[in-house]
Structure 1
Amino acid sequence: MTPAPDRATTPPAPASPRAHTARAYRPALRPGVLLGPPLLRGPRTVHLIRHPVSGATFEVGPKEHFLISRLDGTRTLDDLAPLYAEHFGRRLAEDPWMRLLGLLGTRGLLEGAPDPPPAAPPPARTGGFWHGSRRMVADADRTTARLHRVLRPLLQPALQLPLLAAVLITVPTLAWHAGELVDGTGQLIREPAVLAAVALFLWFSITLHELAHGIAAQHYGGQVTEIGLRWRFPAVMLHCTVGNYLFIPGVRAKLVIAGAGAYLNMVLLLPFALWWFLLPGTDTARPYLAGLLFLGSVQGLSNLVPLPPLDGYRMLGHALGTVRLAPETRTYLALRRSGGEARAAYPRRARHIYRAYAAGFALLVLLAAGGTCTVAYLLLTR
């Protein structure tokens, strides 16, 4: 869906009846069509458009989005042409206008267009014994909406701001006692019964992590399309999919939705952290609590690392206004190695973002590998 509304530069031919009809037409988008914000994808800035019935998503450029966002049923070509010329510095001709309307009509995005058949629901189960997924809720959006109504009093700033402050204080405090936490983890893994209880708590925490994404999405007007189980033998965990993630207005809302799971993981650790702080150093429960806090913190905070497919990767993409950040970075690096004019098509902002992410990606992988080896060494030697 990529018509170029500004290609015509020669004087227009005498208006035909069809062109006259197109000039007088006042198109309107059908109710429920979603228009996304500008996103950087490779060298281009794109906008996403979503059909309200089929759920199909289309990609358009800034010029097409400028026109589509103003199709409210009150404007003709003659009304939009001056606005377009003022914004882009070029005249809007009839042929590109008609092509744009034709594309919108064939995709059922204009008011009065016939409803396309709704998208077929995904299969209840995919994959096999070793890996796959299974849908657990018939109407995930209604289920999370009910949970949101029940939990909405807990989402008020009067409660969430003190909890956030407590998390921000607890995380560096635990980091300061990292040596003691690692020692406690070493003792924990030598107690199978206690370790099993901790593993069960962490599994429950990651389950609530996924539901937190869905409830946060409901809070900001999102739509949850699926709640189910996903497994890679022997691990089994819940997953929650937000269907209109990229169309939720505001960067802050997207960041909150993406970070809600990790935030909830850390909130669940607060009572255990307080218990651990208050216990005397000789108490036998203290090492086990230290192990729980270490494993729980790693589980929660590691999700904020900006590497795919973690939540931190999504948060970074929302903050930068990009889509498919990692794949587009690989494409850009490949062009840099091969040279050519394709690399010159990238604007300066895109070049800076992809270079910085490539360097950060390599650094994060090295830090993760080094941290894992260090913790493993300490657990084996202490």
Structure 2
Amino acid sequence: MSANHGALSAHRPALRPDILLSPPLLRGPTTVHLVKDPSDGSCFAVGVREYFLISRLDGKRSTREIEVEYAAAFGRRLGDAHWHQLLTLLGSRRLLAGAEPPPASPSPASPFSGTLYRGSVRLVADADATTSKLHRALRPVLRAPALLVLLAFCLAMEVVLAADTADLARDTWWLFHQPMALLGVFTLLWLSTVGHELAHGVAARHLGGTVSEIGLRWRLPVAIMYCRVGNYRFLPRRRQQLAIGAAGAFANLLFLLPFAAWWALLEPADPTRRVLSGLLLLGSCQALVNLLPLPPLDGYTMLGHALRVDDYAPQSGHYLRLRLRDRHATAAYPDRARLLYTAYAIGSSVVVLVLAGVVATAACFLLVA
């Protein structure tokens, strides 16, 4: 027994270098970390204590040294049984150094999935390589000074448009009575969604993320592009995750900039200016609404990253239902969880009500205009 214990104490286990560990995430009443194997995409959650141990499996520290750190952090020592359980789990999932990674899931023979009514299609064979090429081409404008200048132009555009909201709304109402012009505007807005999705991928490549898939998803009569960022949840800094989330709306606004300049140069009575008014109003709404903290919008994803909360909306709903049934059922929730879940339940309801009020007010304004 002592020989086995001595051998285990001297053991220096290590994770495979490609294994991804997430920052701490609030999930219900507990804090978890995600562990992902990028070779096959498998992912599971562990608690804070398990993460403490896993994150220190670097091949340099012995289990004995890690035990000392663990005792200092949590006030208790680990036994051999704990180590056997943890290392057996990691070994069974092939996460330890020296283990062969599990075979990658084979790509479907067909890029299509779903049905004619609802489905998706992959548009490129290697999404990461495609976004890498785009990133190299756009690298000069991805530097902070250039981005700040472009952001300033976008904000100035929105300020000018906000000051002219009434005229923009009237021109948009006129546009809805011009079928061909309206078709052209919606085609441009659809194209801006392509830029929106690719911007997520380019931002991910710029900040150390990877892109797993680019494709087209449809639920007739609507079809939109999508871009899946593979490991943004595992990036260490919030600002990296927030930048990737905000990149899509930023790209939408950049798309509008040349049309805004064109609009500003035309006379108010020019029919082209009225068409551009509709494009600018609808495009601005498209970009800004996407920043609202409601699922499945980018603003909701960004809020979760900013607060380090996983499954924010579902967990808030679950907490609120428990609270309404029996307030003692939520005793296990820490104060931070209670505050965040209550705030989201109330805040998201207010956002929905305000949004509904804005839409109703705009409809009434247009009907009497």
Smaller-chain TM-score range? over 0.9
Question: Against the structure 1 CA distance between its residues 301 and 340, is the aligned structure 2 distance closer, same or farther, given a 3 Å change threshold?
Answer: closer
Normalised to the residue count of structure 1, the TM-score between the two structures is 0.93
Whole-angstrom distance in 2 between the partners of 1:73 and 1:289: 61
Whole-angstrom distance in 2 between the partners of 1:137 and 1:48: 28
Normalised to the residue count of structure 2, the TM-score between the two structures is 0.96
Task: Please state if 1:143 is matched with 2:130.
Answer: yes
Which secondary structure state, in structure 1, belongs to the residue aligned with residue 96 of structure 2?
coil
Equivalent of 1:186 in 173, 177, 201 = 173
Which secondary structure state, in structure 1, belongs to the residue aligned with residue 172 of structure 2?
helix
Task: Please state if 1:241 is matched with 2:234.
Answer: no
Counterpart code for 1:140: A
Whole-angstrom distance in 2 between the partners of 1:377 and 1:203: 27
The answer to whether the 8 Å contact 1:54/1:117 transfers is yes
Counterpart code for 1:315: M
Whole-angstrom distance in 2 between the partners of 1:265 and 1:374: 25
The answer to whether the 8 Å contact 2:213/2:229 transfers is yes
Task: Write out aligned runs for 1:299-318 (5 A).
Answer: 299-318=286-305
- Cα deviations across residues 312-340 of structure 1 (Å, max 9, x unaligned)? 00010011111100110111011101216
- Give the structure 2 partner of residue 319 of structure 1: 306
- Give the structure 2 partner of residue 6 of structure 1: none
Offset, 1:300:
0.9
- Give the structure 2 partner of residue 286 of structure 1: 273
Task: Please state if 1:271 is matched with 2:258.
Answer: yes
Equivalent of 1:67 in 35, 42, 53 = 53
Which secondary structure state, in structure 2, belongs to the residue aligned with residue 196 of structure 1?
helix
- Cα deviations across residues 118-167 of structure 1 (Å, max 9, x unaligned)? 12335622221221111111111111111111111121223211110111
Offset, 1:234:
1.1
Counterpart code for 2:169: V
Percent identical residues: 51
Larger mean Cα displacement after TM superposition, 270-279 or 353-362: 270-279
Task: Please state if 1:51 is matched with 2:51.
Answer: no
Offset, 1:277:
2.7
Whole-angstrom distance in 2 between the partners of 1:309 and 1:341: 31
What's the C-alpha RMSD, in Å, of the aligned pairs?
1.5
Whole-angstrom distance in 2 between the partners of 1:244 and 1:342: 35
Counterpart code for 1:144: T
- Cα deviations across residues 69-90 of structure 1 (Å, max 9, x unaligned)? 1111122222112211111122
Whole-angstrom distance in 1 between the partners of 2:187 and 2:271: 21
Counterpart code for 1:62: V
Task: Write out aligned runs for 1:98-113 (5 A).
Answer: 98-113=84-99
Offset, 1:379:
2.5
Which secondary structure state, in structure 2, belongs to the residue aligned with residue 285 of structure 1?
helix
Whole-angstrom distance in 2 between the partners of 1:193 and 1:52: 47
Larger mean Cα displacement after TM superposition, 286-295 or 306-315: 286-295
Counterpart code for 1:320: L
Task: Write out aligned runs for 1:56-95 (5 A).
Answer: 56-95=42-81
Task: Please state if 1:172 is matched with 2:159.
Answer: yes
Counterpart code for 2:81: D
- Give the structure 2 partner of residue 126 of structure 1: 113
Which secondary structure state, in structure 2, belongs to the residue aligned with residue 49 of structure 1?
strand
- Give the structure 2 partner of residue 366 of structure 1: 353
Question: Against the structure 1 CA distance between its residues 381 and 127, is the aligned structure 2 distance closer, same or farther, given a 3 Å change threshold?
Answer: farther
Offset, 1:341:
4.5
- Cα deviations across residues 343-370 of structure 1 (Å, max 9, x unaligned)? 1111100110000000111111111212
The answer to whether the 8 Å contact 1:22/1:98 transfers is no
Whole-angstrom distance in 1 between the partners of 2:221 and 2:215: 17
- Give the structure 2 partner of residue 334 of structure 1: 321
Equivalent of 1:231 in 218, 222, 225 = 218
Whole-angstrom distance in 1 between the partners of 2:295 and 2:210: 22
